[in-house]
Amino acid sequence: MIPLRELDVRELLRDGGAPFNLIMETVTSLKPREGLRLLAIFEPTPLIHQLGQRGYSHVSRQIAEDDWEIIFTPESEAEAEMQTGQPTVETDLWPEPIWNMDLTDLAPSDSMERILARLETMKAGEVLFALVSGEPIFLLNEVKARGHEWVGNFDSTGTVYRIMVRVNPSVSQTV
């Protein structure tokens, strides 16, 4: 049986708080082969998707009307790599970004729209750097679907996500 660390965010959610950073800090601090038992007031579908991309499987169970238990367990490293879909890229070979965008003051949908619009104007092989609030899961999936390469991570605060996108060198862009 895999050891589980428990995190109860029900009161924080009921008080109108946003526990995302606390949850991600907890996940980051998990030991190898350690899981998470999350207690929430709803089934957190976006979080489940995000942790799935990071190599965690889950089992959700509704305990009461507004009580949920979600058990996240790590998959094997090989399975996790297949799940993430994050490209393994050598960014040392990338040119310097020609676009630098600070979109931290925008809603995720607005920053996604601006980044995708900018990518449409860029030539194959060019690189864009952007700062956004929170991890842009839907943007990253869309960038991948369009055949571009990306790398990204959180800054030291854990609230600003840094992303670099290289326009797919094999895709001919119209400028």
| Domain spans, the chain | 4-82, 91-166
Please compute the mean of the pLDDT values over residues 17-23 and round it to a whole number: 89
Of 131, 127, 122, nearest to 152 (Cα)?
Answer: 131
Position 96 scores a pLDDT of 87
Spatial neighbors of 84 by CB under 8 A, at least 6 apart, are: 53, 54, 55
Q: Do domains 4-82 and 91-166 have the same CATH topology?
A: yes
pTM: 0.50
pLDDT tens across 31-88, in order? 888 899 999 999 888 888 888 888 888 898 888 888 999 999 887 533 433 334 444 4
Say if residues 97 and 118 touch (Cβ distance below 8 Å).
no
Residues 150 and 156: their CA atoms lie apart, in Å, by: 20
pLDDT score recorded for residue 68: 92
**pLDDT for res 101:** 94
The predicted-structure confidence for 85-140, as pLDDT tens digits, reads as follows 444 455 667 888 999 999 999 988 899 999 999 999 999 999 999 999 888 888 98
Fold (topology level) of 91-166: Translation Initiation Factor IF3 (3.30.110)
Q: Can you tell me the distance from the alpha carbon of 112 to that of 11, in angstroms, rounded to the nearest whole number? A: 31
What is the pairing mode between strands 67-74 and 56-64? Answer: antiparallel
Assign 108 to helix, strand or coil.
helix
CA atoms within 13 A on the CB side of 60: 14
Q: Which tokens in the block code for residue 14?
A: 């009921």
Could you report the per-residue pLDDT of 145-169, keeping only the tens digit for each?
A: 899 998 888 877 778 889 999 998 6
Domain 4-82 is of which CATH architecture?
A: 2-Layer Sandwich (3.30)
**What pLDDT is recorded for position 171?**
53
